[in-house]
Structure formats: structure tokens, C-alpha cells
Amino acid sequence: MQKSNFREWSLEKVERAFQLVQVSKLPILEELLSYEFTPNVHQVYNLTELSQNYAEYGGDDWNEIELENKLISPVIVSSGIDNKNFAYFLERELTITIDEYELSGKVDGMIATGFRSPQMPYFCLNEYKRGTDPYGDPRGQALIAMLTAQKLNKNAKPIYGSYIIGRNWYFMALVGKEYAISKDFSCVDDEMFDIFRILKSLRIQIEKII
């Protein structure tokens, strides 16, 4: 049995080890991205302020903790993810054995069933302040966490994910052996409202599958 931390996984390594295939489109990801939502006045003000703060106060140079606290969590929490059935959890461990690999790692963020502690994850998030990071590949680390979530669920339900590199957000979906990655959405222009809209959609999609 080979012990392996999520930090060690690249996109290519995940694909080779577990026969995953990237496809250009997945219906569940397209449904997630196409949800329509118009923010109210308060939400517009809040999102605009978060976007401007990132652009004006050195967001591209924030470290991971600053990025999480000043941008990511405020946007996710304000989207109304938390409820009695599932919630957004930070820095929680996932562990599973798949084939000859004993996988484990601390996920930057996850949406999982559970009230005070996560039970079954349906969304995994990795965040980075730079495109290339000394601690590995954010895409691969998000995907290996998503695969772990899929195996923990022991069924064919879709798993969602995201990785964030500084100002750019990417959304992912995994169904069976196939996964897809969205285009990038920037938090420093009107795409901030797309990010918020997609997060609102995420709650609806998770409600459908749990």
C-alpha cells in the first residue's frame, strides 16, 4: 500500500493512476454554469467591494490565508451555501484507500453534508495565490480530492469542484471516469457576478443529488 498526500498529485498523475478522462463538456457542469440569477442591491454592493479590494489592495500578492479570508470565504458564505443539510467547511481532512493508494489530505474548502462536522462531501475546493506553486498542481489536487469524495459516496452521484489561482476561478465536475473544467472567471471585473451566480447554482445542484 502506497501512502500519498493530495499535495503530490498532478492532473496527469490522477488521470494515469485512475483512468480518468478530461472531456470538453459535461451536462452537469453546463447546468451549473448556466443558472440565471440577478443579485439584489446589497449583493451587488458587497461583491463590487470585494472585487475592488482585491484589485486595489494587492490581491495578486496575497498569500493563501489572505486570499481565503479576504475574498473566497466572504463570497462563498454570502452566496447562502450553509443550511441544516450541508455546509461549507474549511481545512478538513479526507482519507480513503483506492486500489494500491492510501490517499489523504487537507482540503482547503469543501461543501459536505453535516451540521457541525462534514459527513459526505459533494464539492472540493483548492486555492492558490499563483499559477505555479511550490506545493504542486491545483488542478490535480482538486481532482484527487473530488475522486476521494466520489469514492466516499459509493455511488454515481456527480462531484463538483473548483480551484482558484489568485483572481481566477475555475469550476469542475466529475461523473464516473469523466471530468470537465470550466473557463476561468475573474474576480476583478463583472465576472465576479458570474462566480456568485455559479455558487448560488451550486447549492441548488447539491440539493438535487443528496
Judged against a pLDDT cut of 60, whether residue 131 lies above it is answered with no
Cα(8)–Cα(10) distance, rounded to whole angstroms?
Answer: 7
Rounded Cα distance between 168 and 194, Å, is 12
Q: What's the CATH code of the domain at 156?
A: 3.90.1570
How does residue 130 score in pLDDT terms, banded at 50, 70 and 90? low
What's the whole-number average pLDDT of the chain? 93
Residue 156's pLDDT is 76
Range of the domain at 46: 2-209
Is it the case that residue 133 has pLDDT exceeding 60? no
Question: Could you read off the pLDDT of 32-68 as tens digits, one per residue?
Answer: 999 999 999 999 999 999 999 999 999 999 998 999 9
pLDDT at residue 127 is higher than 50: yes
CB 193 within 8 Å of CB 40: no
Structural domain count, the chain: 1
For residues 130 and 163, the model is more confident at: 163
